[in-house]
Structure 1
Amino acid sequence: MTYILGVNAGIGIFHDPAVCLVDEHGTVLAFVEEERPRRVRHSPGVKSPALAVAHCLRTAGITPQQVDVVAVGWDEPRMSARAGSPWHFDSPRHLLGQLGFHGTRLPDMQFIAHHQAHAASAFYASDYEQAAVLVADGNGEDECISLYRARRGHPLVRVERWPQVYSLGHLYEAASEWLGLGRRGAGKVMGLAAYGTPGGEIPAPGWLRAGEHGLISALGTDPAEDYYSTHRRWRKRIVQFAGTDGPSQPAALLDQDPAAVRVAAAAQATVEQVMGWLARQARELTGIEELCIAGGVGLNCAANGRLPQPLYVPPVPHDAGVALGAAWCLAAPREPRLLSPYTGGHPGPLPKGLAGAKVHDLEVDRVAELLADGRIVGVCRGRSEVGPRALCHRSFLASPVEARMRDRMNALKRREPWRPFGPVTHLQPELWSPIGHLDRYMIGAAHLTARGREALPAVRHADGTTRPQHLRPGDEDFVTAVLEKLTADGHPPVLLNTSFNGPGEPLVETAAQALACAQRLGADALATDDALLRLSPGSEAGA
């Protein structure tokens, strides 16, 4: 057996280090982001995800000595040359040591171009035989947007690319920082933007746009511009556009600040319009209608939902996904098969001394009754999902039939009250527009129908959209059974589904973390692999 360990690690990364272990057939054995075992969201500044390496090896039941190749999702020699610094022959050995590989038998190390790794992560996770691939993020080694042609059994072929002055990621990050939401506030910016689009009108200030001769950036065309200069220049453009250095309201009230809403809507409009043009370019240049998207911009659900099908976006399109893509560049799956997101660890046992909790056998009817009664239930079952979207293995679930549940869930999670939630269902109810594969991983926005807007107020966003998850047979049997019971009892076949974490935290990974989080935040119950815990208000794990 050959083992290949893909990593988002090394000198190129700024956030979201991750590790993925595959065999020679490209089968994913384990895939986890460093933030989960480290318990620091995005793990910024961590260049060597050693905890995730150990996690993946432990999950697969192998030792470091059994790993044959480590594939890095960045071309470090190319980056060193671009920076004008020498590439040292012992650099791979140094990085291997930081990742936990020691001794006389070390794995080989190979460096994969960042956007190539992104492209591989999206295409080989899809069920397409061939596809156009669009990669859009903050930056790779020296590009921010790339287009590829992908075919099973053939190398990826890049057909176009753009330098960092065209970076949608840098622009969106600058908007997030102007709004006071920090560098990693892109999801919040997307949610806030919906408050600035009454009647479906979307403003666009022309920061980035498609012209007669291609993509045009207000920053010019200089390929030498780097992250720091483009970010600084985008920030200056946003200040000029808004007419002020920042919002006049705190984060909790940004939806009531016209300047803040206008900036968010302008950034979102830019992303949607440019991604629409890039999708058309990808299809035209490759002659292929099937489209895959990767890169951090692929997390923009609103933009994804506006693109025509057929379209596939993996559950981990952001930088963590290059761990998967780098491994697949060396051992790609030959048969089209959709990636399962459940690649992490198991919950493990509950802690001893369950103060403030009543333990019951895990029964579908009992959980369905709690949800129908307006309770919030945390779910920590099976292998954890990779990526930022909770997909019912590490989720908070609730009934979406009353608008006040949105307020209660936002309060429970200590979130801004204007932020939206998404639904999960096991059926194809006529409650929102179809969005193809995008509803597998909660990675695309859909428009609620009139019936959906009336029936599901807790997951209805300001612009009439929602971000749904559709459970297919075999995806998550327990939550499917709960949904079936609710449907049989006359309730809508839908639940509110959101991530099982508190503010600034990654998703919970273990049952012990889940219990502590649920009790700290004030959830009503917790469902684990084999137990249902009723939680007392205000209790703390181990109290």
Structure 2
Amino acid sequence: MIVLGINGNRREHNSAASILIDGKLVASVEEERITRIKCDSAYPSGAIAEVLAIAGISEQDVDVIALANLSRWDQKPILDKLFKRVALLGKQEPELKKFYWKHLFERYTRALRPRRKPEGGLANKPVQAIGHHRAHAASAYFSSPFGDERVGVITLDGAGDFSWGSVWVGANGKMQEVLHLSYLNSIGLLYSAITHHLGFIAGRHEGKVLGLAAFGNPEPFLSRLMAHTNPKDWNALFDARLTRVPLRPVSPMGTEVVKELCGNLSREDIAAGLQVYTEQMICAWVQEQVGKMNVSKLVLAGGVFSNVKLNQRILALPGVENIYVHPNMGDGGLATGAAFEVYVQMHGALRPELGSVYLGTQINRENALKALQEAGVSFEEPENLAQTVGRLLADGKVVARADGGMEYGPRALGNRTVMAPCHDPSINQWLNKKFARTEFMPFAPVILQERAHEYFPDWAEDQIAARFMTVTYNASEIAKQNIPAAVHVDGTARPQVIRREDNPGYYDILSEYCAITGVPSVINTSFNMHEEPIVRTAEEAIRAFEAAGLDALVLGPFLYRAKAN
């Protein structure tokens, strides 16, 4: 059975398409990688065509289409409940009262607007819509490494289908719903609103705020946020004043409140207070859910769980034995989750199984050779590519690698990656400058699994989340000494722990570098210019390599050295 999952209708971001064949995820691509527009929200026509091509099938082969997010009509009961809450809070906050009356009629008219339907050969295929947070939950649970074990499934993001989170119990290949959270209390949207206030792009640059937080003092901003928060009731988490923020995070109704809260505090202190607030609030709530569900393992999805420091705190909670964060935790993973859920609804159950994350466009010998020849550049095919690249890295060179299937999700995991030695902390300034980036968190390291515990003592082999760079760890003294460029000012790093069976070519390069230097780790940063998506094709890799002025490019089995041209 072939299921095509689609996220991309109306105002969703990270439009994407995924293909599931007999319950196995075989392809997934976000529309941004096709159009080269970061976080593209357009209908994913290009992504649909690409995943069909990757899977080697046609539109006619698709049995059913899974659409992420409910129809507007099916959203109406959730919206009605939300409006009742706004009306109640409007008695305390005049702006909420104005909002209620201004948008009261719209909640009826919006339900009549149809969503875009698949076209062409897909137009007559059966279609099922899957709720936003159900899709997030399914993406994490059915791709998790915990098999038949009973686990807790938690989703948290900004908002989707007028909710910002959900809780489920996963067992025996099925999910049972526990609760949903109204987006009026969205810590995710609060984080985005403050990201906007600090001069960054909401929904895209929250990671910059996370990095900035380590440089500040959480007080008094933490206390200011807590004064508007009721931690004992997550159905009424925000008071009337703070509720204005998730309703309109980047419009005056929300920005006025954020500006008032932030006052004249430094952006470092604002970021620190926001991050500590996020960690404290969510960790306390997660621990409560773990107790209620009577589980020790968690699978997590939703954009809030792109916050790697939060994930470290959750992993350390008493009673939490292990976590798995879906590699495409944001809305780019909804297409996958919708496809999984439709498959399960039609077949009754699906045993969770960890699969590959290299699910995108392939760069191989044939298309790499064609791109290099068309670019008119000199290149070579080393007899021992890994050894040659390991030596370049040991000599202090910066090497990009574009080979094999493109990664699934926002993290570069070796196939669309830029590598460099970690011994010089100043690389975070000069390499970011090459890519026209502004970051406050250092580059992440990739490390051989055999040496991971030596550099990150809290890491354990069964912590699969570390393979996908979704959690930070405290760095050891030897890590601070040997890879200081990858260690943040708070003493943490966000490693990708690599095994040879996961990516032999990438692993072998790192192994050769280690044989020369004795250091089992190099920097791994995504292969893209600032505000551009990660490169997809061989042609894009060549353009980005030349624009950044790097030293060498591994393209399939070939090596393109900048100095030779």
Amino acid at match of 1:71: A
Deviation of residue 450 (structure 1)?
Answer: 1.6
Q: How does 1:121-520 map to 2 (within 5 A)?
A: 121-128=139-146, 129-154=149-174, 156-183=175-202, 184-197=204-217, 203=222, 205-207=224-226, 209=229, 211-214=231-234, 217-220=237-240, 227-228=247-248, 233-244=253-264, 259-308=266-315, 309-332=321-344, 334-347=350-363, 348-349=367-368, 350-355=371-376, 357-361=378-382, 363-416=385-438, 418-427=440-449, 428-435=452-459, 436-520=463-547
- For the residue of structure 1 that corresponds to 2:397, the secondary structure is coil
From 40, 43, 52, the equivalent of 2:40 is 43
Q: Could you report, residue by residue, the CA deviation over 1:459-501 in whole angstroms, capped at 9, with x for unpaired residues?
A: 1112111110001231111121122212222330001000000
From 133, 137, 154, the equivalent of 1:119 is 137
Q: Could you report, residue by residue, the CA deviation over 1:293-339 in whole angstroms, capped at 9, with x for unpaired residues?
A: 11110111110011134111010111111111100002247333213
In the aligned structure 2, how far is the partner of 1:531 from the partner of 1:441? 26
Q: Say yes or no: does 1:27 pair with 2:24.
A: yes
Deviation of residue 152 (structure 1)?
Answer: 2.5
Deviation of residue 226 (structure 1)?
Answer: 6.8
State the match for 1:254 in structure 2. none
From 56, 60, 64, the equivalent of 2:59 is 64
Identity of aligned residues (%): 29
- For the residue of structure 2 that corresponds to 1:291, the secondary structure is strand
Deviation of residue 15 (structure 1)?
Answer: 0.9
Q: Could you report, residue by residue, the CA deviation over 1:371-421 in whole angstroms, capped at 9, with x for unpaired residues?
A: 001111000011000111100010000110122222222122212263421
TM superposition score normalised by structure 1:
0.88
State the match for 2:47 in structure 1. 52
CA contact (8 A) 1:15 1:42 kept: yes
- For the residue of structure 2 that corresponds to 1:375, the secondary structure is coil
- For the residue of structure 2 that corresponds to 1:144, the secondary structure is strand
The 3 A distance-change label for structure 1 pair 95 and 481 is same
TM superposition score normalised by structure 2:
0.85
- For the residue of structure 1 that corresponds to 2:373, the secondary structure is coil
Q: Could you report, residue by residue, the CA deviation over 1:155-205 in whole angstroms, capped at 9, with x for unpaired residues?
A: x2221222112112211111111111112211111111111159x999453
In the aligned structure 2, how far is the partner of 1:234 from the partner of 1:432? 40
In the aligned structure 2, how far is the partner of 1:17 from the partner of 1:109? 17
- For the residue of structure 1 that corresponds to 2:517, the secondary structure is coil
State the match for 1:96 in structure 2. 118
CA contact (8 A) 2:128 2:342 kept: no
CA contact (8 A) 1:121 1:328 kept: yes
| Deviation larger for 313-322 or 127-136 | 127-136
The 3 A distance-change label for structure 1 pair 359 and 326 is same
State the match for 1:16 in structure 2. 14
Deviation of residue 87 (structure 1)?
Answer: 5.3
Amino acid at match of 2:295: I
Deviation of residue 26 (structure 1)?
Answer: 1.4
CA contact (8 A) 2:5 2:335 kept: yes
Amino acid at match of 2:65: V
Amino acid at match of 2:454: E
CA RMSD, 1 decimal: 2.6
- For the residue of structure 1 that corresponds to 2:37, the secondary structure is coil
The 3 A distance-change label for structure 1 pair 417 and 53 is closer
CA contact (8 A) 2:362 2:406 kept: yes
Amino acid at match of 2:283: G
The 3 A distance-change label for structure 1 pair 143 and 477 is same
Deviation of residue 358 (structure 1)?
Answer: 3.6
In the aligned structure 1, how far is the partner of 2:483 from the partner of 2:34? 35
CA contact (8 A) 2:244 2:253 kept: no
Deviation of residue 442 (structure 1)?
Answer: 0.5
In the aligned structure 1, how far is the partner of 2:162 from the partner of 2:533? 29
State the match for 2:93 in structure 1. none
More helix per residue: 2
In the aligned structure 2, how far is the partner of 1:499 from the partner of 1:509? 12
Q: How many residues align?
A: 512
Deviation of residue 429 (structure 1)?
Answer: 4.1
CA contact (8 A) 1:174 1:231 kept: no
- For the residue of structure 2 that corresponds to 1:418, the secondary structure is coil
The 3 A distance-change label for structure 1 pair 149 and 223 is farther
Deviation of residue 14 (structure 1)?
Answer: 2.9
Amino acid at match of 1:322: L
In the aligned structure 2, how far is the partner of 1:230 from the partner of 1:177? 7
Amino acid at match of 1:329: E
Gaps of 5+ in 1: 245-257
CA contact (8 A) 2:210 2:275 kept: yes
State the match for 1:250 in structure 2. none
